[in-house]
Amino acid sequence: MPATSELDRVTAVVLQYMRTPFLVLLATYALGITGMSLMPGLDTGDGARSMNLFHSFYFFTFTATTTGFGEVPADFSEPQRLWATVCIYTGVVAWLYAIGSFIRLVQHPELVTAVSERRFARQVRKISQPFVVICGFGDTGSLLARGLSDNYRKAAVIDCNAERIKALKLRDYRVKMFGLCADASVPKHLLDAGITRENCQGLVALTRSDDTNLKIAVMARALNPRLKIVCRSTCNQTREYMESVGDVEVVDPYDVFSRQMCTAIFNPPLYNWTQLLIGALDFKRAESVSPPVGKWILCGYGRMGRALRRALDERGIPTVIVDPATRPVDPQLRSIVGRADTRALDDAGIRDAVGVVAGTDSDEDNLGILLSARKLKPDVFLVVRQNHHENELAFSGVNANLIMQPSLVTARQILQMLTVPTILNLRHYLRGDGSGEVARLVARTQSILGQERIHLWLETLGGSGCAVASLAGKGMVPTLGDIQRTPMDRTRRLRILALVLQRGEELLMLPGDDTALCGGDRILFCGTHRDHRLLGANLHNEYTLHYLQRGVEEPRTLFAAWLSRRGPVKAD
């Protein structure tokens, strides 16, 4: 049985609501016009004159609006005036009934839903640049949409809460975001969101239910086997099933934060650089997060506490658990049963601990733990978990060293997966702790971009329109420094920096300006959006690149070429 289209649904709703009002208007007009034509008019000496159908229709038309243009084509008789009075009241009542039915029709939920879906699908089809489908517009979805907007990436948002979709339309995003109030697990809505389109960069499932995220992932994978799918999940069983669906990337905010914290402890430059890429830090605070190595006290042994304890234990960092309901299964796990007050923290050995993690699911308890720990040891490194976004002012006032928001961690991790190319894996280039390499990278980036946000993009040299390959074929091999000049003035440099150059299997970090380019090279740049466009002009315009390389304009016409071959005219 074929599926019902939006047009069929709209037609069915319109007919259902407007059939009776239309029949009432039709009957009222037919009765009024017929009666007015039959009413005898005034006797003008040659017999009573009745109105014809045209005059009756014309009279009833303006009478129904209560406008009143007089009596046409002549003065009315008493029967005609009596019938005109009846026509006025019946016409007004019929029109009020019809207008009320139309208003109810416009407000009908089925019609509103059908029109919204049709408009949403049409808006998504008009998107020409890469975009992302976001299923769920809660705290995480809102933060992800803001990050995509800052990177000039569009998104199609689906959420079952109408208030959230209304809030989406009021946000001041840099690019247009489209929203639909619907169930994201329904395949039809996923198709309307454009998951089968070539420019769909991926689908992100961020609803509050892991089961719903799983259903969305399964439906999307069935509709588009090549689609990049990212899901949020905090349940191990759901995560394993999602991964078995096929190429579904699962993000657990507690595992992500545990890895990030271990990276911050053992490799602070690498952690801070990754935070710079997604806008979590600015250049002024690039070296500010550096947790110490030593014993840590984990207050709360829920999802966050277990993830942190497992990650720290793998790296040989001792931990002490403080939780009211701790049930240790590992005999080597040291734990204190009770609330994390000053006595429990003292029993856990806060005097010789380097850090305290307040990771319960209660913001009030986490703030209390933080204040108690600071009272016992003012210089201890404090990590606190913020569960609710509305408590941000309270958490910012306690000056914790590191605040963990599950929604923010998830949004930043997904944003990094969507915007940072996999070619930029700093672990392949760092030696030792990587302090020197990352410091050099940050210094060069800051010298070129200043305090502006980092914008990343990947350029592939090759194809019919590539100016680099065209000049290389003529024996004029451009260098990396040539393509980074300003097209209007070759003595000035674009505000861009080549981070990684990939040539075959070889990867070169921070290639120099004298690096010769060839077809097939893949270069990861960072810079501003304006200079990104100017670089595209350099790479796809042979005359521009010739000027940037040689400093002279290449002749573009036969006459200019003939004139250039003659050389300068000598004076007598």
Asked if pLDDT for residue 17 goes beyond 80, the answer is no
Give the phi and the psi of residue 329 in degrees, each rounded to 5. Answer: -105, -15
Task: Determine which of 14-23, 36-45, 242-251, 433-442 has the lowest per-residue pLDDT on average.
Answer: 433-442
Supply the pLDDT for residue 571.
Answer: 38
d(CA 323, CA 337): 5
pLDDT band at 133 (very low <50, low <70, confident <90, very high): very high
Q: State the pLDDT at residue 145.
A: 92
pLDDT at 556: 59
Q: Answer yes or no: are the C-beta atoms of 429 and 508 closer than 8 Å.
A: no
Helices then strands (H, E): number in the chain?
Answer: 22, 16
Q: Cα separations (Å) of 51 from 54, 67, 69, 373?
A: 8, 20, 16, 97
204-231: per-residue pLDDT in tens?
A: 999 988 888 889 988 998 899 889 999 9
Neighbours of 346 (CB within 10 A): 14
The whole-angstrom separation of Cα 285 and Cα 278 is: 14
- Residue 235 CB neighbours (<10 A): 16
For the segment 353-364, the average pLDDT, to the nearest whole number, is: 90
C-alpha to C-alpha distances, 66 to 55, 60, 76, nearest whole angstrom: 17, 10, 17
N-to-C CA span, the chain: 92
Average pLDDT estimate for 22-47: 80
Alpha-carbon span 381 to 319, nearest angstrom: 14
Task: Give pLDDT, residue 204.
Answer: 94
As a whole number of angstroms, the longest Cα–Cα distance in the chain is 122
Reported confidence tier of residue 555, pLDDT bands at 50, 70, 90:
low
Nearest to 363 by CA among 402, 403, 326: 403
* Other Cβ atoms closer than 10 A to 4: 10
Structure confidence at residue 564 (pLDDT): 56
The domains located in the chain, with CATH, are 6-106 (1.10.287.70), 129-251 (3.40.50.720), 288-421 (3.40.50.720), 454-559 (3.30.70.1450)
In this predicted structure, what is the pLDDT of residue 491?
A: 84
Residue 370 has pLDDT above 60, yes or no: yes
Please report the pLDDT score of residue 357 as a whole number.
92
Contacts of 27 (CB under 8 A, 6+ apart): none
Residues 210, 184 contacting (CB under 8 angstroms) = no
Residue 134 has pLDDT above 80, yes or no: yes
Q: What are the distances in angstroms from CA 382 to CA 242, 300, 358, 533?
A: 34, 14, 8, 44
Q: Which segment of 120-134, 307-321, 379-393, 530-544 scores lowest on mean pLDDT?
A: 530-544
CA 418, 422, 427, 429 dihedral sign is negative
Which residues are CB-contacts of 293 (< 8 A; sequence separation ≥ 6)? 265, 266, 317, 354
**246, pLDDT greater than 50:** yes
Higher pLDDT, 441 or 391: 391
Q: How does pLDDT run across 97-107, given as a tens digit for each residue?
A: 888 888 887 77
Q: What share of the chain has pLDDT > 90, as a percent? A: 14
Using one digit for the tens of pLDDT, what is the confidence trace for 325-336? Answer: 755 555 667 778
pLDDT in tens, 417-467: 887 776 566 555 555 555 566 667 777 777 777 767 777 788 888 766 678
pLDDT of amino acid 551: 76
> Is 70 exceeded by the pLDDT of residue 279?
no
pLDDT attached to residue 559: 56
**pLDDT at res. 263:** 83
> What gap in Å lies between CA 155 and CA 142, rounded to an integer?
11
Return the pLDDT at 70: 62
Helix or strand (DSSP H, E) at 78 = helix 78-106
Please name every residue paired with 185 in a beta bridge, in sequence order, or none if there are none.
Answer: none
Q: Whole-angstrom Cα distance, residue 254 to residue 416?
A: 16
- Mean per-residue pLDDT for 15-32? 84
pTM of the model: 0.73
User: Mean of the per-residue pLDDT values for the chain?
Assistant: 81
- 70 vs 270, more confident: 270
Question: What pLDDT shows up at residue 71?
Answer: 63
